[in-house]
A and B are shown apart, each in its own frame.
Chain A
Amino acid sequence: AQSVTQLGSHVSVSEGALVLLRCNYSSSVPPYLFWYVQYPNQGLQLLLKYTTGATLVKGINGFEAEFKKSETSFHLTKPSAHMSDAAEYFCAVTQPASSYKLIFGSGTRLLVRP
């Protein structure tokens, strides 16, 4: 069975500081991994994805994530936080054999201090 763990339900950073949101997964087969962002009262928007190939993937709004198989991790980073990055972030895993059903982590709310 697949599962996702996001460490830290809330992360607070200063504007301009590094953003690091942690995601660890469990999967018995090569996973597809995603980060989604949710702004208040909105649906989920895809930030980036890893399927195969290059393990460092770049997404929208300056975010990137690195797939580390040995650590079963897919942490999300951004070098410099902006006030507009304040939102909830979800890590998710799936695989083709599961009809692409997503298994989500519990989410991390990012707070950006001025």
Chain B
Amino acid sequence: DAGITQSPRHKVTETGTPVTLRCHQTENHRYMYWYRQDPGHGLRLIHYSYGVKDTDKGEVSDGYSVSRSKTEDFLLTLESATSSQTSVYFCAISESGGLPEAFFGQGTRLTVV
């Protein structure tokens, strides 16, 4: 299994509070991604990174920010959590060149009450 660790694995938070999810990789892969999974929607890209301090928005980025200060860590922050952000969040990594496939973490189940 690819070395990807997401923390926390489960979290319950109140509406309006900030929340930070962490993704840590040991593979030294260039690209890192945050997706959210909701029934009927598959997985949708929130933000991604193509290098240290290099990030860009994905399909559903409103209300989220990210940071990548080290190759191995990619943080996702919900600036002010809302009930619509209740979801399962997955981190993924990939490398350029001959290995285009992404490897996924185990996910973080976030509930906003």
Which of A's residues lie within 8 Å of B, judged by CB? 4, 6, 9, 32, 34, 36, 41-46, 49, 51, 90, 94, 96, 99-107
Chain A residue at minimal CB-CB distance from B102? A102
CB of B104 within 8 Å of the partner chain = yes
- Do A43 and B41 touch across chains, with their CB atoms under 8 A apart? no
- Do A46 and B96 touch across chains, with their CB atoms under 8 A apart? no
Residues of A within 8 A of B107 (CB): 41-43
Task: Given the known inter-chain contacts A34-B101, A43-B106, please indicate yes or no for A99 contacting B90, CB distance below 8 A.
Answer: no
B57 CB, nearest partner CB in chain A, Å: 11
Question: SS class of chain B's interface: helix, strand, loop or mixed?
Answer: strand
CB of B44 within 8 Å of the partner chain = yes
CB of B74 within 8 Å of the partner chain = no
- Do A100 and B42 touch across chains, with their CB atoms under 8 A apart? no
Residues of A within 8 A of B103 (CB): 46
Residues of A within 8 A of B42 (CB): 4, 6, 90, 104-107
Residues of B within 8 A of A45 (CB): 104
Chain B residue at minimal CB-CB distance from A36? B104
Q: How far is the CA of A96 from the CA of B31 in the complex (A)?
A: 12
The contact size tier of chain B is 20 to 34
Interface residues of B in 25-67 (CB under 8 A from A): 31, 33, 35, 40-45, 48, 50, 56, 58
Count of chain A to chain B residue pairs whose CB atoms are closer than 8 Å in the complex: 60
- Do B96 and A96 touch across chains, with their CB atoms under 8 A apart? yes
Chain A residue at minimal CB-CB distance from B45? A101
A85 CB, nearest partner CB in chain B, Å: 19
A-B contact list, 21 entries, CB within 8 Å: A36-B104, A43-B90, A43-B106, A44-B90, A46-B101, A49-B100, A49-B101, A90-B42, A94-B100, A96-B100, A99-B31, A99-B50, A99-B56, A100-B100, A101-B48, A102-B33, A102-B45, A104-B43, A104-B44, A105-B42, A106-B41
Q: How far is the CA of A17 from the CA of B14 in the complex (A)?
A: 47
A36-B104, A100-B102 known, 19 other contacts, Cβ within 8 Å? A4-B42, A9-B40, A32-B100, A41-B107, A42-B107, A43-B90, A43-B104, A43-B107, A44-B43, A44-B90, A44-B92, A90-B43, A99-B31, A99-B56, A100-B96, A101-B48, A101-B58, A104-B43, A107-B42
